[in-house]
């Protein structure tokens, strides 16, 4: 079974602006700093809405987490005065991290402690808008009789420019994909109603990887860039489906 945020059923797509976005440069990063609790906020269902209105101290520097992704640290109550740290709201901190293509790691007193919250870049993009949506633990709906599966390029509202730049650079650098693409998949019912949540897939066919497990692992890593408003990344079920899904999608 493909390990994802929830069940891997085909889902829904919204109207879209087919926009080409160029590659961005990865942020400069400092030495690796582990998350003592190792539990990303994106994997939890209890992210409190009060985090949106809280403030944190941050110097804006980027470090590499144990998952090998970049992060900006936010300190809730520094144990000592830090002249290089600025007090920022969560929205401001998220906007800063998003501009650096970095996630956010929240600590109570210092980065040497256990992290309190860890947000992926996809979650940061949502926080930067002053919004939050916990992941839905319910399985995604499957197509029913008369339903139509549609595909297209995600809109800028669903997949902002910073995420496009970041995931495109990641796929070019780590997966050696010349023209990275992310397809949005939806279900439209016979009545014309579309179903939530959305589902995405990158143009990474299984033939690029030595084993199915390594393919699934890389697809799972790309979920780090996907907002929590999107249910999951669905791997193409066959080469034919893969080619069809990406026929209408422009490169990132």
Identify the domain containing residue 111 by its residue range. Answer: 41-127
Number of domains present in the structure of the chain = 1
Report the C-alpha dihedral over residues 245, 164, 159, 40, rounded to 10 degrees: 110
3-state secondary structure the chain: CCCCCCCCCCCECCCCCCCCCCCCCCCCCECCCCCCCCCCHHHCCCCCHHHHHCEEEECCCEEECCCCCEEEEEECCCCCCCCCCEEEEHHHHHHHHHHCCCEEEEECCCCCCCEEEEECHHHHHHHCCCCCCCCCCCCCCCCCCCCEEEEECCCCCCCCHHHHHHHHHHHHHHHCCCCCCEEEEEEECCCCCECCCEEEEECCCHHHCCCHHHHHHHHHHHHHHCCCCEEEECCCCCHHHHHHHCCCCCCC
What mean pLDDT is predicted for residues 15-29? 33
Q: So what's the pLDDT on residue 35?
A: 61
**How far is C-alpha 28 from the geometric centre of its chain's CA atoms?**
20
Band (141; pLDDT cuts 50, 70, 90): low
User: How is residue 138 written in tokens?
Assistant: 């319910």
186 part of a folded domain: no
pLDDT in tens, 67-109: 999 999 999 888 766 556 789 999 999 999 999 999 999 998 8
**Residue given tokens 């650079």 in the structure block:** 169
**132 has pLDDT over 70:** yes
144 part of a folded domain: no
**48 has pLDDT over 60:** yes
Mean pLDDT, the chain, rounded, equals: 77
Band (17; pLDDT cuts 50, 70, 90): very low
**49 has pLDDT over 60:** yes
23 part of a folded domain: no
**237 has pLDDT over 90:** no
Q: From the CB of residue 168, how many other CB atoms can be counted at a distance below 10 Å? A: 23
108 part of a folded domain: yes
Q: How far apart are CA 56 and CA 119, in angstroms?
A: 14
User: How is residue 98 written in tokens?
Assistant: 């998003």
Band (233; pLDDT cuts 50, 70, 90): confident
- Kindly report which listed range (16-20, 127-131, 215-219, 224-228) carries the lowest average pLDDT score: 16-20
Percent of the chain with pLDDT over 70: 72
57 part of a folded domain: yes
240 part of a folded domain: no
3-state secondary structure 142-172: CCCCCCEEEEECCCCCCCCHHHHHHHHHHHH
User: 60 burial class (0-12, 13-18, 19+ CB within 10 angstroms)?
Assistant: middle
pLDDT in tens, 155-201: 898 899 999 999 999 999 999 999 999 998 887 777 777 766 678 88
What mean pLDDT is predicted for residues 133-150? 66
35 part of a folded domain: no
pTM above 0.85, yes or no: no
**How far is C-alpha 64 from the geometric centre of its chain's CA atoms?**
16
**4 has pLDDT over 70:** no
**12 has pLDDT over 50:** no
What mean pLDDT is predicted for residues 218-247? 82
Band (16; pLDDT cuts 50, 70, 90): very low
71 part of a folded domain: yes
């Amino acid at each position: 079974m493909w390990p994802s945020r929830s069940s891997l059923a085909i889902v829904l797509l919204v109207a879209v602006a087919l926009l080409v976005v160029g590659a961005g440069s990865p942020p400069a990063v400092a030495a690796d700093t582990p998350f003592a609790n190792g539990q990303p906020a994106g994997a939890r269902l209890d992210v409190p809405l009060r985090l949106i209105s809280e403030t944190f101290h941050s110097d804006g520097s980027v470090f590499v987490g144990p998952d090998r992704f970049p992060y900006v640290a936010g300190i809730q109550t520094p144990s000592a005065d830090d002249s290089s740290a600025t007090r920022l709201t969560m929205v401001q901190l998220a906007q800063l991290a998003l501009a650096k293509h970095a996630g956010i790691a929240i600590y109570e007193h210092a980065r040497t402690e256990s992290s309190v919250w860890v947000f992926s870049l996809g979650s940061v993009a949502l926080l930067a808008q002053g919004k939050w949506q916990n992941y839905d633990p319910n399985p995604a709906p499957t197509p029913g009789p008369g339903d139509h599966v549609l595909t297209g390029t995600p809109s800028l509202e669903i997949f902002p420019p910073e995420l496009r730049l970041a995931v495109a650079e990641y796929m070019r650098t780590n997966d050696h994909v010349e023209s990275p693409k992310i397809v949005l998949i939806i279900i439209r019912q016979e009545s014309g109603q579309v179903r939530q949540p959305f589902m995405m897939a990158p143009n990474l066919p299984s033939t690029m990887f030595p084993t199915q497990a390594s393919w699934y692992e890389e697809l799972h890593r790309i979920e780090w860039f996907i907002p929590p408003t999107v249910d999951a990344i669905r791997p193409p079920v066959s080469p034919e489906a893969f080619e069809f899904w990406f026929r209408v999608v422009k490169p990132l």
